[in-house]
Amino acid sequence: MEDRIYNVLFLCTGNSARSIMAEVLLSTMGQGRFRAFSAGSHPADAVHPLAIEQVRATGYPIDQLRCKSWDEFGTPDAPHMDFIFTVCDKAAGETCPYWPGRPISAHWGFEDPAAFAGTDAEKRAVFQKIFRQILARMNVFASLPLHMLERNAIQAELTAIGKAPV
């Protein structure tokens, strides 16, 4: 059994909802196999309150959550990333910074719950739906035998996860 810890970065535009929820879910579900991070191309001022509401039950330290620029992860002293996932279509279409070390990347698009307009109950329901969708993909990803797969096989698996219906 390999003891390697994989660094994973989830990217979105605002880094206030989807990428934050992905970071928390992989951090808590990964059972020490993953160090998850999130960032945005144009980070919001604060994590969305409904995203915080969704992740609160995971036990993850909520006070550590903040919106971050993806520039923080392109510096020489930043953690080396093994995997990078875009979780929104807008970020997937942007020109990303150079990531050293050739991380494996994939696009796992999710609807933006922060952009939904409706009643508080409707907004909460959309956040719950997106949280469950991210949870489903994190379950599949966290169960992959990464230490046994070679790079091209991992890339194919990650692309398939992103294309699977949610």
At 29-81, the pLDDT tens digits run: 988 899 999 999 999 999 999 999 999 988 888 998 999 999 999 888 889 99
Contacts of 60 (CB under 8 A, 6+ apart): 24, 27, 28
Active-site residue (options: 8, 9, 11, 12): 12
Instruction: Looking at the chain, list the stretches that DSSP marks H as alpha helix, in order from N- to C-terminal side.
Output: 18-29, 49-55, 89-92, 120-143, 151-163
Active-site residue (options: 50, 88, 91, 161): 88
pLDDT in tens, 118-127: 999 999 999 9
pLDDT in tens, 100-143: 778 999 999 999 999 999 999 999 999 999 999 999 999 999 98
Tell me the whole-structure pTM to 2 decimals.
0.88
Cα distances (Å, whole numbers) of residue 123 to 9, 43, 50, 115: 26, 21, 8, 9
Is 70 exceeded by the pLDDT of residue 149?
A: no
Task: Look up 12 and say whether it is catalytic.
Answer: yes
Task: Look up 67 and say whether it is catalytic.
Answer: no
Active-site residue (options: 29, 44, 78, 96): 96
What CATH class is the domain 6-163? alpha beta
